[in-house]
Amino acid sequence: MRGIGLRSWGESGRKVLMLHCSLAHGGAWTGVARALAAQGMDLQARAMDLPGHGRSADWDPARSFQQQAREMAEAVIADWGGPVDVLGHSFGATVALRLAVDRPGLVRSLALYEPVFFTPAFRMFAGLEARHDAELAPYQSAWKAGDRESAARAFMATWGDGRPWEALPEGQRAAFTSRIHLIDAIRDTNYGDPAGMLSEGKLAALSCPVLLMDGAESPVYVARINDVLQAEMPFARREVLPGAAHMGVLTHPDQVAARIAAFLSDVEETPREFSTME
């Protein structure tokens, strides 16, 4: 599709749209897509590059990044035909939530690995925001100073796959550095509630099945986020993956795929079981 980078796996079966994390691209879902196929899932999957990532068009600074990403996902589904099951990782998982609350008819189910919607967790857990700000202070200082590489290095120290910056391939370091401005672009939705998902009760009103996943070794914030999201959506299923951290989609694709496969199989067999109560 024009202006939207896509990667595809499978040619038949149920349709699955995959939304990646910040600073990555749709190829981050390759391991999970292959693992789902190896487990016998009959899927046709598409992974979309977010604005300014991979082969997609740049982000328009005059618009909300999350809004632009959601509209791109809508365009993919409109071209493809929906509804579809949506998988999201990190910021991509917040886009998936936004898509589900804004356009519920397009989303059959949600499987979310560590959505970085900090707002509800900061409101619920005293001291969590201060801890987060202290940990991300090196990133903020470097970004404000215009030192893009140091900002990328500091950001990945918390939200990367555990490898030191120097151990990353040169091309990967360059890509993270070139895209680091997009982290600041998502602040309004990661740390706010512009779509009213909380203030207007939109999460609680979701009617699609939801799977929340987090890694046992991830930063504390993501577990607290999923704690509150599960309270907002008591119909959601929760899975904690032993040994995995925030980049579990890349580092533990078989574990992630196993949880997704079980979830999708249950949704297919008994979809009403995971719906909100009427």
Instruction: Return the closest-CA partner of residue 79 out of 182, 27, 179, 6.
Output: 6
> What does the alpha-carbon distance between residue 130 and residue 128 come to, in Å, rounded to a whole number?
5
| CB-neighbour burial class of residue 136 (10 A; exposed 0-12, middle 13-18, buried 19+) | middle
Say if residue 209 is preceded by a cis peptide, omega within 30 of 0.
Answer: no
Residue 268 has pLDDT above 90, yes or no: no
Q: Determine contact, residues 237/211, Cβ cutoff 8 Å.
A: yes
Instruction: Return the closest-CA partner of residue 32 out of 209, 258, 216.
Output: 258
The domain limits of the chain are 6-125+190-274
Question: What mean pLDDT do residues 65-74 have?
Answer: 96
> What does the alpha-carbon distance between residue 260 and residue 255 come to, in Å, rounded to a whole number?
9
Q: What pTM value is reported for the model?
A: 0.94
pLDDT digits (tens, 9 = 90+) for 140-193: 999 999 999 999 999 999 999 999 999 999 999 999 999 999 999 999 999 999
DSSP one-letter string for 74-142: HHHHHHH-S-EEEEEETHHHHHHHHHHHH-GGGEEEEEEE----HHHHHHHSTTHHHHHHHHTHHHHHH
What letter does residue 26 receive in the DSSP assignment?
G
Residue 180 burial (CB count, 10 A)? 24
CATH fold group of domain 6-125+190-274: Rossmann fold (3.40.50)
Instruction: Return the closest-CA partner of residue 46 out of 56, 61, 60, 58.
Output: 56
Residue 271 has pLDDT above 80, yes or no: no
Mean of per-residue pLDDT scores for the chain: 94
Which residues on neighbouring strands pair with residue 88, listed in sequence order? Answer: 19, 112
What are the Cα distances from residue 217, in Å, to 114, 206, 254, 257?
Answer: 12, 29, 17, 18
Instruction: Return the closest-CA partner of residue 267 out of 16, 11, 45.
Output: 16
Q: What is the pLDDT of residue 2?
A: 76
The three-state secondary structure class of 257 is helix
| Percentage of the residues of the chain whose pLDDT score is greater than 90 | 92
pLDDT digits (tens, 9 = 90+) for 118-154: 999 999 999 999 999 999 999 999 999 999 999 999 9
pLDDT digits (tens, 9 = 90+) for 23-60: 999 999 999 999 999 999 999 999 999 999 999 999 99
* 152 Cβ neighbours under 8 A, 6+ residues apart: 23, 165, 173, 176, 177, 180
